[in-house]
Chains A and B, each alone.
Chain A
């Protein structure tokens, strides 16, 4: 079955450490996205990528980094510069950027301990 796989589902990180969240899709979609979800704030866009080897900052990119070396993979690194990283992170993909719907993974809950 086609879909988006995020791993791990739960992740714990010590303060000051970088951590990488995985996102893989087998839908052959060009566009991929990372969103952060906090209670009562909806989804906020961190980074997005239209094609391989290209990505753009979203609304809250500070403290995060991404790469897009392969079409099916879009990993997100939460760096130690991110002041409040505890959140639910959602990866999504779509055929294109404009009028197409986005398909979401099951999310990764990151907790800083």
Chain B
């Protein structure tokens, strides 16, 4: 079985400040990790993904994430946020074999950027 824990349900931050959204996962198989963003009343859009290779992954809109296998984490970061980054962010894990055959999502983190 696999699971995802997003440690913060709400993260308020001032414009141009840095932000980190935390994500921890558990899985019995090799994992693939994703961050998605959701704007109100819309579907999810992929920000970035880790499949293999370099543990630092860069995505769209200036976001990046680092895969840490020993800490089973995949935290999302941005050095300077904008008002337009206000949205809900979901971390997801996919497995490589067996029963872990679909994406499992965390409960989401609402990022609110304040002027």
Q: Assess whether A2 is interfacial by the CB under 8 Å rule.
A: no
Q: Assess whether A58 is interfacial by the CB under 8 Å rule.
A: yes
A residues neighboring B (CB under 8 Å): 4, 6, 33, 35, 40-45, 48, 58, 88, 90, 92, 97-107, 109
Candidates A4, A40, A98, A102; contact of B96 at CB < 8 Å = A98
Q: Please, which residues of chain B bring their CB within 8 A of the CB of A98? A: 32, 94-97, 101
Q: Would A107 and B102 count as touching, CB distance under 8 A?
A: no
Encoded as 1 (CB less than 8 Å from any A CB) or 0, chain B from 25 to 52 comes to: 0000000101010000111111001010
B residues neighboring A (CB under 8 Å): 6, 9, 32, 34, 36, 41-46, 49, 51, 90, 94-97, 101-108
Report B65 CB to chain A, min CB distance, Å: 14
Q: Which residue of A lies closest to B49 (CB)?
A: A101
Q: Would A97 and B101 count as touching, CB distance under 8 A?
A: yes
The distance in angstroms between the C-alpha atoms of A43 and B90, with both chains bound, is 9
Report B35 CB to chain A, min CB distance, Å: 11
Report A83 CB to chain B, min CB distance, Å: 21
Candidates B41, B96, B103, B108; contact of A107 at CB < 8 Å = B41
Q: Would A104 and B107 count as touching, CB distance under 8 A?
A: no
A-B contact list, 30 entries, CB within 8 Å: A4-B43, A33-B103, A35-B105, A40-B9, A40-B108, A41-B107, A42-B6, A42-B90, A42-B105, A42-B107, A43-B44, A43-B90, A43-B105, A44-B105, A45-B103, A45-B104, A48-B102, A88-B41, A92-B44, A97-B102, A98-B32, A98-B95, A98-B101, A99-B96, A100-B94, A101-B46, A103-B46, A106-B43, A107-B42, A107-B43
